[in-house]
Amino acid sequence: MKLEIKVPAVGESITEAVIGSWTKKSGEFVKMNEVILLIDTDKASVEVIAEKDGVLTIGAQAGDTVKIGATVGSIDTDGKPTASAAAPTQAAAPTAPAAGATSGGGKATHPELQAHQSPAVQRVVNERGLDTSTVQGTGLGGRLTKGDVLNAPTSAPAAPAPTAKAPAAPTVVPVPRGPSKQGDIQRVKMTNIRKKIAEKLVAAQHNAAILTTFNEIDMTNVIDIRNKYKDKFKEKYGVNLGFNGFFVKASIEALKTLPAVNASIVGDEIEYHNYFNIGIAVSTERGLMVPNIKDADNLSVAGVELAIRDLAGKGRDGKISIDDLSGGTFSITNGGVFGSLLSTPILNAPQSAILGLHKIQERPMAINGKVEIRQMMYVALSYDHRIIDGKEAVTFLVKIKECVENPERLLLEI
């Protein structure tokens, strides 16, 4: 009996995917529930498992674009592994070196090029009295370069000793120089996820009127709270007390005040969301992903920190699901962890706004007529000007600033 392997449905808006890689070869025996195929979509990788034990037959190769529901292979539950699949691949016989190539990894030489010397090389040869037959050329076809003759040991007789009236001229020692790396490039094919990320970012720039407004936040009070309670917090909840929890809670309070920032444009309508799914940008080896904390308004600061830890771990392990990446209403990205002082984040479409956090720095600030050193952070809000006015954007950041600078307001939700 043969079971068809089909591309699974991975989201309402996704109609096609790319074959990432097969973990088995055609003719190999696979076991039930064993991962046999990775499929890449524009959001994440999806694992396909074997439904039964049997022999695998592959019908679509890695890199092929396939429709959702398409058959890409089969499993023969009555089959046996083929001899060709089980046989080890023989090592290829070593090939003889190409004609004209030198042994030991050297460059191919051409006598006509070796004999020709540039004026600069000829001048150094004459000045140093070099025997060019003893100098190895590193230029094209074994041609001598100026560096070759400058670094070559000289066989010329020593200059006569200077008289008492004429001091000896200083010896010029050439600085050793390694081989040139001009033209040393490498091209690597973009992964499907990287291409889709690029397409989404370009589309966001083309389809929205993106504008960015800035403010600065005094982080001193939050840092004091963190330093005071971080050990007890870690002991109770098993997660570090960071700053993202405060900003997620502050964002929710600001979104409640300014619902347009939590909305999006659908056709010629504005879709207002009465829930708060906060996306947290996570940097992974596969690229930037923005999984969402669903119903974040129902979580405490500890709950938010736990959710961020879990999403970050899934991102590193390549386990972020389509559901994790879907349904976001507002996003936060923290470039400060990499040392960024200021940036203009790009919208995570179809969302209408994204909050950018940055590096915390000590700066002199005027406080009640006196100069004090405070822990300051620049924050940025990129927004779609089609739906959010400048006044709303500025007011949103002011609300964030008020909540973070006065953390007790987050507890009282005022």
Residue positions annotated with a catalytic role: 385, 389
Q: Which of 339, 144, 379 is nearest to 254 (CA)?
A: 379
By the 10 Å C-beta count (0-12 exposed, 13-18 middle, 19+ buried), 269 is classed as exposed
| Distance in angstroms (rounded) separating the CA atoms of residues 412 and 269 | 34
Phi, psi for 143 (deg, rounded to 5): -70, 140
Return the amino acid letter for 322: I
Q: Which of 61, 88, 59 is nearest to 74 (CA)?
A: 59
Q: Identify whether the C-beta of residue 31 lies closer than 8 Å to the C-beta of residue 45.
A: no
65 Cβ neighbours under 8 A, 6+ residues apart: 16, 17, 18, 19
Supply 180's token pair.
Answer: 């040139």
By the 10 Å C-beta count (0-12 exposed, 13-18 middle, 19+ buried), 146 is classed as middle
Number of Cβ within a 10 Å radius of residue 307: 22
Q: Which of 195, 299, 196 is nearest to 246 (CA)?
A: 299
Q: Which of 368, 324, 344, 374 is nearest to 218 (CA)?
A: 374
| Distance in angstroms (rounded) separating the CA atoms of residues 40 and 45 | 4
Q: Which of 35, 33, 85 is nearest to 55 (CA)?
A: 85
Helix (H) or strand (E) holding 201: helix 192-207
| Distance in angstroms (rounded) separating the CA atoms of residues 323 and 300 | 22
By the 10 Å C-beta count (0-12 exposed, 13-18 middle, 19+ buried), 107 is classed as middle
**Residue with the two structure tokens 């004091």:** 224
| Distance in angstroms (rounded) separating the CA atoms of residues 78 and 57 | 13
| Distance in angstroms (rounded) separating the CA atoms of residues 162 and 11 | 87
